[in-house]
Structure 1
Amino acid sequence: MKRLFISVFFICFAFPGNCQLKNADINFLKYINTHRNENLDKSFQFLSNTSDFVAIGEPLVLLGVGFYKNDAYLKKQGVNAAVATLGTYSLGYIVKKSVNRNRPYQTYPEIEHYETKLGSSFPSGSTSLAFSAATSISLSYPKWQVIAPAAVYAVGVGYSRLHLGAHYPSDVLAGAILGSGSAVISRYLNGLLLKQYRKKQISKNSF
């Protein structure tokens, strides 16, 4: 049921058509954008810009500390985070090029935007990277002290894209799903590869 809902949601928002949900999409954005506190524009822009640094910095820090301390767990989590970030960038680029959706302020001139961005709108790259990093660190350290601030950060980045008029709500939702999904799937695939590697090592040592 969840898969069906997500599929319908993507079809209605991402592709041209007469779906009534598209009206809710732009109306929700207009409400947030027109009722925003403009004094916070610069702060939210700064928050948005941190997503690349956080997504790239997280695996670098984990791997760096892991190799420095020769900590196998940190190394493993660093690899998981790195693959998640790479997957998020790759999938995001492919989807953006495939959908090629205009930014909301290009279609609706009444939407005020802080800066003009290049590239298509769907999905939100900043949001996907923020959720990828937040999900990765939360899975590596499943404690509320880690999960809570990570979730607040990711949601904050997502909201900032609406506040600044850079994305539709559906762009942000898609970015959150893409980023979180990349983190979960990369961890699963890395686990499978590690199991296969260990099986091969055991087979070699048994002869």
Structure 2
Amino acid sequence: MEHLNKTFFLWLNAPEHPNALVVTLATFFAEWLIWAVPILIGIGWLRGNENTRKVLLVATASGLLGLLTNQIIGMAWSHPRPFMVGLGHTLIPHVADSSFPSDHLTLWWSVAISFVLQRGLRSVGVALALFGLPIAWSRIYLGVHFPLDMLGAIAVAAFSAVLTLHEARWYLGPIYRLATRIHSLLFGRLIALGWVRE
């Protein structure tokens, strides 16, 4: 398995003299696109109704659980990144921590799968899931992840999305009430002006 992992990595990793435009595009997908998740959740919360907000809270819980799961996996089994074993070409800086699974992709796909599993934002979830593919490619192309890290991210994301949705009855009500109270305190003036939903 590790031999295949390294073989596929070298096939997808950037060449010694990569095209500058491809590197720029890959860097955008690898480092900047992830910010679409909190922006999307923030805008959705401000403009959405109660059902949309609850979908967003479950998706947020899914993303957080996915990242927590990754930390536990990393402590139990630390897998080196490609540059830590002198493999391929690394085009962006990254801390030398465990590569498996990919945190970026776990967060992205945890939210995407959570949206797909719930009513209200399924089409957004499908779009996010599809955009996860260039994120996965870019992290390998730029030399900070192996292909197996992406498969691990899919597994963790699916686990997190299913579990947080299945167990939502235990946490969603109290968290929703707390979040709406904080929302009212922070945005009371904008709610009164009609710029933000109550």
For normalisation by structure 1, the TM-score amounts to 0.71
Q: Which of 64, 69, 81 is matched with 2:46 structurally?
A: 64
Matched length:
170
Correspondence 1:47-62 to 2 at 5 A:
47-50=29-32, 52-62=34-44
Runs of 4 or more above 4 Å deviation: 34-37, 141-145, 192-195
Aligned-residue offset at 1:181 = 2.1
1:106–1:151 Cα change, 3 Å: same
Contact 1:55–1:85 under 8 Å retained in 2: no
How many angstroms does 1:189 deviate by? 0.9
Distance 2:42 2:94 in 1: 27
Q: Deviations over 1:87-135 (max 9, x none)?
A: 122112222232222111221x241011231122111111111111221
For structure 2, list consecutive stretches of 5 or more residues without a partner in the other structure. 174-198
1:146 and 2:124 matched = yes
Equivalent of residue 67 in structure 2, options 73, 80, 89: 89
Q: Which amino acid aligns with 2:47?
A: V
**How much identity, in percent, do the aligned residues show?**
20
User: What is the match of residue 23 of structure 1?
Assistant: 3
112-121 vs 37-46, which moves further: 37-46
| Structure with bigger RCO (C-alpha 8 Å, 6+ apart) | 2
Q: Are positions 1:102 and 2:80 aligned together?
A: yes
Other-structure match for 2:12:
32
Q: Please provide the CA RMSD for this pair.
A: 2.5
